Amino acid sequence: MDIAGTSALVTGGASGIGAACARALASRGATVVVADLNPEKGEELAAEIGGAFARVDVTNTDELKAAVEQADALAPLRVLVNSAGIGWAQRTIGRDGSFDSAHDFGAYRKVIEINLLGTFDAIRLAATVMSRHEPTASGERGSIVNMASVAAFDGQIGQAAYSSSKGGVVGMTLPVARDLSVAGIRVNTIAPGLIDTPIYGEGEASEQFKANLGQNVLFPKRLGDPAELASMAVEVATNSYMNAEVIRVDGGIRMPAK
Ligand code: NAI
């Protein structure tokens, strides 16, 4: 699917993998709307790539709807990348046998709201708008790419909330692709391994932490570059025969229990 002259919406587009996807989609001729909570980084990136910024909290349907409409007003919306996401690390129970030390249930709910419900809300709204357009020369109306995580499959100790949210994204990939097939919209999910983004913090301590993490990767023994994820996102967005698939991009890592 040729995306030149179309628009693309990237949630979480102000940072890390989302920002790399926004740059890569723009380099293929799409006008990108960077939909994110962070206006400083979002505005700066939008200016760099000739796109637009939309201040969006993916847990807010009205803000998502406005961003989808903003993108579609710039050019026909053909691509959605769902990259907004947060992490959380806490064991399911505490050590002292008290209810109070059990996993923070509000935190569990928040991770699900952003990573899982936010993804599905963006999909149903963007796909609705995509479904209104005439198909492209390749017979498609659009393409959706979600960022899950290898934690959907190899969740570590403390990753109950995060793995649940990403497992939900993996689980919706096939049924949503089936739902949207009538409209000519493809849906794929990428499961990144350990990728070098601000999600691990910034500064000397986090650089050391990341260097140690990289030793667990099969090959190459380093963290992934966001551009390597963006390359896969653009491939699945534009390759007309990619549909309903979940693809690990992880250097072969299989996460241990901890
Ligand atoms: P990041 O922290 O660099 O970027 C995430 C972006 O999402 C930020 O710009 C943040 O402002 C935005 N965001 C957070 N909550 C939001 C909300 N409620 N509404 C709108 N925007 C919101 O993170 P990174 O590493 O680029 O992660 C992108 C996606 O990839 C996430 O879904 C993450 O779970 C996933 N992922 C990342 C991995 C990694 O190693 N970096 C590994 C596996 C998955």
Asked if residue 214 belongs to a domain, the reply is no
User: Around Cβ 217, how many Cβ atoms within 10 Å?
Assistant: 18
Asked if residue 181 belongs to a domain, the reply is yes
Domain encompassing residue 106: 7-197+225-249
| Digit-coded pLDDT (tens) for 190-233 | 999 999 999 888 889 889 888 888 999 999 999 999 999 999 99
**CATH number of the domain bearing residue 112:** 3.40.50.720
User: Around Cβ 205, how many Cβ atoms within 10 Å?
Assistant: 10
- CA distances to 110, 211, 227, 251 from 208, rounded to whole Å, are 29, 5, 21, 19
Active site residue 200: no
Of the chain, the percentage scoring pLDDT greater than 70 comes to 100
User: What's the total number of domains in the chain?
Assistant: 1
Asked if residue 215 belongs to a domain, the reply is no
Distance, in Å, from the CA atom of 13 to the CA atom of 62, rounded to the nearest integer, reads: 18
Determine if ligand 1 sits within 6 Å of the CB of residue 12.
yes
| Digit-coded pLDDT (tens) for 22-35 | 999 999 999 999 99
Asked if residue 256 belongs to a domain, the reply is no
Determine if ligand 1 sits within 6 Å of the CB of residue 197.
yes
Asked if residue 218 belongs to a domain, the reply is no
Specify the residue with its C-alpha closest to ligand 1, atom 17: 57
| Digit-coded pLDDT (tens) for 72-130 | 999 999 999 999 999 999 999 999 999 999 999 999 999 999 999 999 999 999 999 99
0.95 surpassed by pTM: yes
Asked if residue 254 belongs to a domain, the reply is no
Expressed in angstroms, the distance from the first to the final Cα of the chain is 41
pLDDT value, residue 49 = 98
Asked if residue 205 belongs to a domain, the reply is no
pLDDT value, residue 212 = 87
Determine if ligand 1 sits within 6 Å of the CB of residue 147.
yes
Mean pLDDT of 149-164: 98
Mean confidence (pLDDT) of the chain? 97
Distance, in Å, from the CA atom of 173 to the CA atom of 246, rounded to the nearest integer, reads: 8
